Chains A and B, each alone.
Chain A
Amino acid sequence: MGRAVRAASLGAGFLALSGGAVAVAGSLLEGTARIGFGPAGSAVVPLRVAGIMCGVIAVIAAIGWFIGRGRGRNWYLGCGATAIVAFLITAAARGTSLDLTGLMAQSVRMATPIALGALAGILCERSGVINIAIEGMMLTGACAGFITATFARSSGIGVIAAVVAGGLMAALHALLTITHRTDQIVSGTAINILAVGITGFARRSLLLREGLPMVKILPTIHLPLLSQIPIVGPVLFSHQPIVFVSVALLVIIHIGLYYTPWGVRTRACGEHPRAADTVGIRVNRLRIINVIAGGLVAGLAGAWFSLETTGTFDDVMTSGKGFIALAAMIFGKWRPFGAFLGALLFGFADALQIKLQVLGIGIPYQILGMLPYLVTIIALTGLVGRAVPPAADGQPYISGE
């Protein structure tokens, strides 16, 4: 127990401190902010009131969290964190107006590669293979997808190429870790470095020349009727295809993992491969399949960067999203819906950082850019309770010993 209690008191202290800081900062701030929901209207919020209210809520939540027990504590944490974030948003919008609908839609968009990466991680790790190479698989996917889209003049074919490229990198990971039993973290690191090398090499060999056709980014799809709903419509139902696919994959992987024979086998291999072997599951074969499936998903996440967002490919354009995806996976305790929630949290941190930059609030953009990374560190300290990985995660399996 000791460690969990320490982590909790650490977090509660941190939350109380932030709450106090918010209250003090708020009481010193002049001015108002207009917070709105798109065309649905907006409200004028005085900063001083917002700061003191949010600060007090955060401090109360910290106290509740510190003395509370069980699941209820997460609610305290959620309330406290929300209060602090709410104040940050209000402060950022000082003197101007802020459209929350746009911010939330952007959060969902920015959460997509993280969610896909986390799902890829879940596929691998629930079967017992650690995959820190998601970053490299994404990067390879982004590069292969973009190059294919450029030369095939079709973004759709590019997406397929991205998925395949992610799968190939995953096959390499499977070869190294399952067939040759290399340390899984070392193999992952090697793949990450290899991805940087290959994609940089490919970019300079193939893309740095005049007269290449422009790549069209994937079109935005407005789901009929659903996208007409106020607030919810633009936030959830007007997006580009990979966003929708990530939600579909979330549901598919959740059902697959918990309600199909494949899911039972996967979880058995991740928790107790010896027992799984005894009942006739071919552990290493299943792990290879799962790792490659994870790579396909990570490759799709790569396509998000080059084909859904920017329409270009830059060196190291995934900028650590693959690692943030792992943090989301751990945050969600290796469960699809939990990981998706974590991804939304990181997506929100990302979107907020972009929004704050656009609003120009006098804080250097590099400091704001640290936000998602800080959130990751805080999330990993186990503030949401102990995250227990699959028991056999990271251990190679040798049959018949």
Chain B
Amino acid sequence: MTGPWKHWRRALVPVLAVFTALAAGFLLVTLTNGFEAARLAYSGLWAGAFGRWRALADSLVAATPYLLTGLAVTLGFRCGLFNIGAEGQLYVGALAAAAVGVHITVLPWAIHLPLTVLAGMAAGMAWGAFPGWLKARTGAHEVINTIMMNFIAIALVDVLVKGPLCDPASTIPRTANVAETARLPLLAPNTRLHAGFLLALLCAIGVWLLLTRLPLGFEIRAVGANPDAAQQAGIRVRRSYVLALGMSGAIAGLAGAGEVLGLNGNLPAAFSSGYGFDGIAVALLARANPIAVIPAALLWGALRNGAGLMQLRSGISVDLINIIQALVIMFVAADAIVRWLYRIKGESSDLVTLRGWGAQ
């Protein structure tokens, strides 16, 4: 294989992994609920995701947070860090955006919106940089600490949204609506597609530029490839950990801000949809390539968006999507299975090499 083919061949295993996971999901439903239910479920999934222009636009809306959290996890991976904390970073990002968006009302649009978005990113950045700093300082592993930060962020949002930030006029616990000057504009009339999707695309290009064209990105990749060698080469490894997790958190925080400013207009208490965790799957599916995150996130958005109609038409619970998602991760991560299944020749590539418990 030469030329452009070589490039596309790298996508072969992920595509087959998605196909295999979908097929396995179909088989599962056929076994538990019968073939007719499975057929209804999958046709519902398709119609819900792409059936009409509005459904398609909604799939793009749904893809937006996956795109951003996928990028956040990708950036961590490239530095050899596993950021499981995108969920918590997204939460605090949403919280900060909601707080600034609701409580500042005198600014013009051109200042208020950027300020609100930046507040969300800053909160996410702080939430991500803290475990990075702990790792750099004490060697505490980021996997556990980012998970702990998730729980703390979720509790924090819960207590604030049900307490001081709660809108007394609302029947469900949520914040008041953010000021109109802080809303992300809609991209197309009669849809929910908002400018956050464009921001997410820009972010993907930004991360790609950072990793491939900028010195800082080179340092991050060097640390990710081999921290000892990077240290020897004079790269400040600990600084890279803090920066990579901080930027990763900022992107996840943007995801949260986008949901508040673009989609909901406020921050409800039961806000979790596991975007941060799905971001891991998206990043793995994209093999930690920021541009490949775009199609991976679109697929995820479509699956999630179609899940509603799937459940409505067939009665199969949306948990099926979780199962498909886990299978995709497994098939991508253990690509030997897919290679064996489809008799693909060639070396299996190391997806990401994360290092044990960070004993250095």
Q: Which A residues are closer than 8 A to B by beta carbons?
A: 3, 6-7, 10, 130, 132, 176, 180-183, 185-187, 189-191, 193-194, 196-198, 200-201, 204-205, 320, 323, 326-327, 330, 364, 366-367, 369-370, 373-374, 376-377, 380-382, 386-389, 393-395
Provide the bound-state CA to CA distance between A197 and B330, in Å.
14
What would 16 A/B residue contacts be, using CB atoms closer than 8 Å? A176-B330, A180-B336, A183-B333, A186-B354, A190-B329, A193-B280, A193-B329, A197-B319, A320-B148, A370-B151, A373-B151, A381-B138, A393-B357, A394-B354, A394-B356, A394-B357
Asked whether, in the complex, the Cβ of B163 is within 8 Å of the Cβ of A6, the reply is no
Decide yes or no: A187 and B319 within 8 Å by CB, A6-B138, A194-B327 being known contacts.
no
Contacts of A181 in B (CB 8 A): 336
> Nearest-CB distance from A142 to chain B (Å)?
16
Provide the bound-state CA to CA distance between A224 and B76, in Å.
55
Asked whether, in the complex, the Cβ of A377 is within 8 Å of the Cβ of B354, the reply is no
Asked whether, in the complex, the Cβ of B356 is within 8 Å of the Cβ of A389, the reply is yes
Asked whether, in the complex, the Cβ of A194 is within 8 Å of the Cβ of B353, the reply is no
Asked whether, in the complex, the Cβ of A389 is within 8 Å of the Cβ of B359, the reply is yes
Interfacial residues of chain B within 275-329, with CB under 8 A of chain A in the complex: 277, 280-281, 284, 317, 319-327, 329
Cβ of B337 under 8 Å from chain A: yes
Contacts of A190 in B (CB 8 A): 326, 329-330, 333
B84 closest partner in A (C-beta): A189
Contacts of B330 in A (CB 8 A): 176, 182, 187, 190, 194
Asked whether, in the complex, the Cβ of B144 is within 8 Å of the Cβ of A380, the reply is yes
Asked whether, in the complex, the Cβ of B319 is within 8 Å of the Cβ of A200, the reply is yes
Contacts of A6 in B (CB 8 A): 137-138
Main secondary structure of the interface of A (DSSP, over half): helix
Provide the bound-state CA to CA distance between A132 and B329, in Å.
15
Asked whether, in the complex, the Cβ of B317 is within 8 Å of the Cβ of A189, the reply is no
Provide the bound-state CA to CA distance between A377 and B84, in Å.
15
Cβ of B334 under 8 Å from chain A: yes
A189 closest partner in B (C-beta): B280
Cβ of B11 under 8 Å from chain A: no
> Nearest-CB distance from A160 to chain B (Å)?
23
Interface magnitude class on chain B? 35 or more
Asked whether, in the complex, the Cβ of A183 is within 8 Å of the Cβ of B354, the reply is yes
List 9 tightest A-B contacts by C-beta distance, closest first: A197-B322, A194-B326, A394-B356, A200-B319, A197-B323, A201-B319, A366-B159, A190-B329, A380-B140
Q: How many A-B residue pairs have CB under 8 A?
A: 151
A sample of 10 more A-B contacts (CB under 8 A), given A183-B333, A183-B352, A381-B137, is A6-B138, A176-B330, A186-B351, A187-B330, A204-B319, A323-B147, A327-B144, A369-B155, A380-B134, A380-B138
Asked whether, in the complex, the Cβ of B32 is within 8 Å of the Cβ of A197, the reply is no
Contacts of B327 in A (CB 8 A): 194
Asked whether, in the complex, the Cβ of A197 is within 8 Å of the Cβ of B326, the reply is yes
Asked whether, in the complex, the Cβ of B326 is within 8 Å of the Cβ of A367, the reply is no
Provide the bound-state CA to CA distance between A193 and B21, in Å.
14
Contacts of A382 in B (CB 8 A): 138-140
Asked whether, in the complex, the Cβ of B155 is within 8 Å of the Cβ of A366, the reply is yes
**Binary interface encoding of chain B residues 142-161 relative to chain A, with 1 for a CB under 8 A from any of its CBs, else 0:** 01110111011001101100
Contacts of A323 in B (CB 8 A): 144, 147-148
Contacts of A370 in B (CB 8 A): 151-152, 155-156
Asked whether, in the complex, the Cβ of B151 is within 8 Å of the Cβ of A200, the reply is no
Contacts of A193 in B (CB 8 A): 277, 280-281, 322, 325-326, 329
B137 closest partner in A (C-beta): A6
